[in-house]
Amino acid sequence: MPIARVSSTDPDPDTIARAAELLRGGGLVAFPTETVYGLGANALDEAAVRRIFAAKRRPADNPLIVHVPDADGLDVVAAEVTPLARRLAERWWPGPLTLVLSARPEVPSVTTGGLASVAVRVPDHPVAAALLKRARVPVAAPSANRSGRPSPTTAQHVADDLGDEVDLILDAGPCRVGVESTVVDARGSEPVILREGGVTREDLGLATNGSVRDLAASPGTRFRHYQPDCRVVLAPRGEAPAVAQAERARGAVVAMLASVPAPPGVVEIGVAPDAQTLASGLYDALRAAEDAGVDVLVVEAVSEVGIGRAVMDRLRRAAGTP
């Protein structure tokens, strides 16, 4: 499998150059960001972008996020950069925030899923930064998982889902944030959250005098997502052990991910004392439960504040109860 190990703080220039050349030549390169691993292709190369959709088995009407090295990249893909977008970019980039703006005509409709808008972000990871700088083309990159599966937070997750369909996987170890970027429509005068993520609603409110519009669904939220090959059951706070025991009593092989250790007879997938810890290990835990061969993974709910909102959004989808 084409995996190149790179330092997460000081990536080897030759490896980055090789990855950048692959992107420039229409290839697919999986690379780490602070949120999850992305499956990258030249965003302006229709054939290359089509390969992303094919590798992921992604519905054609689910648009991609275009990654650029810095805020100057906004003008390369966006037709109109609003004052709100400038302000949010200034405050949050590089970082886990994606801005939706009207698209320039050079961005092919395969990248935007046929929409007149484009999603763009500057990731906060030295490997992604080096790659984007060296590639000198905007890079479309969805999460590097098979469509519908939990997102990848390690190179191994990418290899497990996409293996030979990727030309190169840059492996810089696990991702820090663990849930994807917050997607915000920045075409108006106040941010509209399309997907909860690494930049919290509270943070966005602080940057915009409290004005954040309610969630409007992004195209991606229509589809089945984040689901491992076992049932996921959300337990109310404090009740995970009891819910796990009840599932066991019904004859299921059960795993648990909660703020307390698993009771006897239940596979402990992880102990996450707070929402941030849960976020960074969440997708790995979903895949670990699947690897452990259990029937059910019981996950304890967290309060919907801060990063807890993004975590609960992903958990509801994993459980199939959004």
* Positions in the binding site for Mg ion (CB under 5 A): 143
Draw the binding track, 249-288, toward ligand TXA (x: CB under 6 A; -: no contact).
----------------------------------------
256 touches 298 (CB < 8 A): yes
When binding is defined by CB under 6 A, the residue of 71, 100, 282, 289 that contacts ligand TXA is 100
Q: Is residue 141 close enough to count as binding ligand TXA by CB under 6 A?
A: yes
- E strands in the chain: 3-5, 29-32, 37-42, 65-67, 78-80, 97-103, 117-121, 139-140, 168-171, 182-185, 192-195, 231-235, 254-258, 267-271, 296-300
Q: Which stretch binds ligand TXA (CB under 6 A): 71-79, 83-91, 117-125, 305-313?
A: 117-125
Whole-angstrom Cα distance, residue 209 to residue 57? 41
Instruction: Kindly identify the residues of this chain, within the stretch 49-68, that bind ligand TXA according to CB under 6 A.
Output: 62-65
Residue closest to 214 by CA, chosen among 238, 190, 237 = 190
When binding is defined by CB under 6 A, the residue of 119, 137, 257, 289 that contacts ligand TXA is 119
Q: Is residue 129 close enough to count as binding ligand TXA by CB under 6 A?
A: no
Q: Fill in the amino acid letter for 278.
A: L
**Quick one: 182 or 208, whose CB is closer to ligand TXA?**
182
**Quick one: 15 or 218, whose CB is closer to ligand TXA?**
218
Whole-angstrom Cα distance, residue 29 to residue 85? 28
Q: Is residue 215 close enough to count as binding ligand TXA by CB under 6 A?
A: no
Q: Which stretch binds ligand TXA (CB under 6 A): 11-19, 79-87, 218-226, 236-244?
A: 218-226
Q: Is residue 180 close enough to count as binding ligand TXA by CB under 6 A?
A: yes
Draw the binding track, 64-93, toward ligand TXA (x: CB under 6 A; -: no contact).
xx----------------------------
Whole-angstrom Cα distance, residue 78 to residue 120? 8
Q: Is residue 194 close enough to count as binding ligand TXA by CB under 6 A?
A: yes
The residue written with tokens 């994606």 in the block is 98
**Quick one: 15 or 62, whose CB is closer to ligand TXA?**
62
Burial state string for 20-51 with b = 16 or more CB within 10 A and e = fewer than 16: bebbeeebbbbbbbbbbbbbbbbbbbeebbeb
| Residue 35 binding partner per list Mg ion, ligand TXA, none, with a CB distance cut-off of 5 to 8 Å that depends on partner kind | ligand TXA
- Retrieve residue 4's tokens: 């190149």
| Residue 65 binding partner per list Mg ion, ligand TXA, none, with a CB distance cut-off of 5 to 8 Å that depends on partner kind | ligand TXA
Q: Is residue 220 close enough to count as binding ligand TXA by CB under 6 A?
A: yes
Q: Which residues contact 127 (CB under 8 A, 6 or more apart)?
A: 6, 8, 11, 16, 31, 32, 170, 172
When binding is defined by CB under 6 A, the residue of 98, 154, 200, 280 that contacts ligand TXA is 98
Whole-angstrom Cα distance, residue 267 to residue 52? 35
Antiparallel, parallel or unpaired: β 182-185 and 168-171: unpaired
19 touches 31 (CB < 8 A): yes
Helix (H, G, I), strand (E, B) or coil at 318: helix
Q: Which residue is nearest to ligand TXA (CB)?
A: 220
What residues make contact with ligand TXA under the rule CB under 6 A?
Answer: 33, 35-36, 38, 62-65, 96, 98, 100, 112, 115, 117-119, 123, 141-143, 180-181, 183, 194-195, 218-221
